[in-house]
Amino acid sequence: MSAFRLRQARIERWTGLGFVTPAMLLFMLTSLIPLAVLLGLSFTNYELGAVDTKSVGTANFAKAVADPVFRRSLGNTLLYVAIVLPGAVGLALLIAILVHGRRRSRGFYEVIYFLPVTSTLIAMATVWQFLLHPRLGPVNAFLRLLGFDEVAFLSEPHLALPTLAVVGIWQLLGFNMVLFLAGLSAISKDLYEAAEVDGCVSGLDRFLTITWPLLMPTTMFVMVTTSITAFKIFDTVAVMTRGGPMGSSEVLLYNVYLEGFQYFHMGYAAALTVIFLVFILMFSAIQSFVLERRTHY
């Protein structure tokens, strides 16, 4: 190799490093270093404001496994995800198919359904809290108008978590719909015309043979992102129920918040966070692996 080519390769190498270095430093400062600190704290008995701390090994993780509050919050989180995931994905796909066929009013429906995504969830949770109020809320006023009794959506243990799940579906619906609309727009109309020539006339047949298989990459992305967002539920719980009644809506992140910033057990809260991150990573990996085998690119 000539001296000119060596010099050119060296320049390209250092130029590439120059472009990558700022992004790598930012990634280290915002992700890698905090994650390393989190892992370090999870093996200690550190309490917020304490001067001295000592290593406790895996005692925090063993405590989490035996903690009934942690097991309850894990079960509540899984139930919340089980309600939100199919609801936010299935309804978004249905609405996207209905909106995609419209010409004049498509933009109007896109804006209407996407508005919850642009709103602050804390503020919208406060609005939902008023809407569902047993005495003052319009939802119960409408139920009374129909002759039904008042329903304490946020005060009944068996209704609190499903109610929060409905709010979560409402908040995710617009974003998922836009993603599905983008996937539907990428499907060539020629495929539908060819399928119609082959006898695929009904809308259900076209959906099962063309639309659904070609939407699998979009569906996989939507399901993974929706499940991660559902696992991270915290805002609506903190504003609307605070984990109640009787812990029926206490979820993983709210449990972490209580342990770390209410009880000041930062070491134990760090261990819970590590378990939470590992759980999300495993769930997303399994989900992606299963969906990847059924995806057509």
Cα distances (angstroms) measured from residue 286 to each of 73, 213, 275, 282, 292:
22, 20, 16, 6, 10
Report how far apart, in Å, the C-alpha atoms of 46 and of each of 50, 55, 160, 275 are: 7, 9, 34, 17
Q: At what angle do helices 157-185 and 68-100 cross, to 10 degrees?
A: 40
Spell out where the chain has E strands.
Answer: none
pLDDT in tens, the chain (297 residues): 567 778 887 888 888 888 888 889 998 998 889 999 999 999 998 887 777 888 888 899 999 989 999 999 999 999 999 999 999 999 999 999 888 877 788 888 888 888 888 878 788 888 888 898 888 889 888 888 888 888 888 888 899 999 999 999 998 998 999 999 988 888 888 877 787 777 777 777 778 888 888 888 888 889 989 999 999 899 889 989 988 888 889 999 999 999 988 888 899 999 999 999 888 888 888 877 777 666 655
| Cβ atoms 33, 41 nearer than 8 A | no
Q: Where are the domains of the chain?
A: 1-42, 60-292
Residue owning tokens 């280290």: 28
Alpha-carbon distance 159 to 95, whole Å?
A: 26
| Assigned CATH for 60-292 | 1.10.3720.10
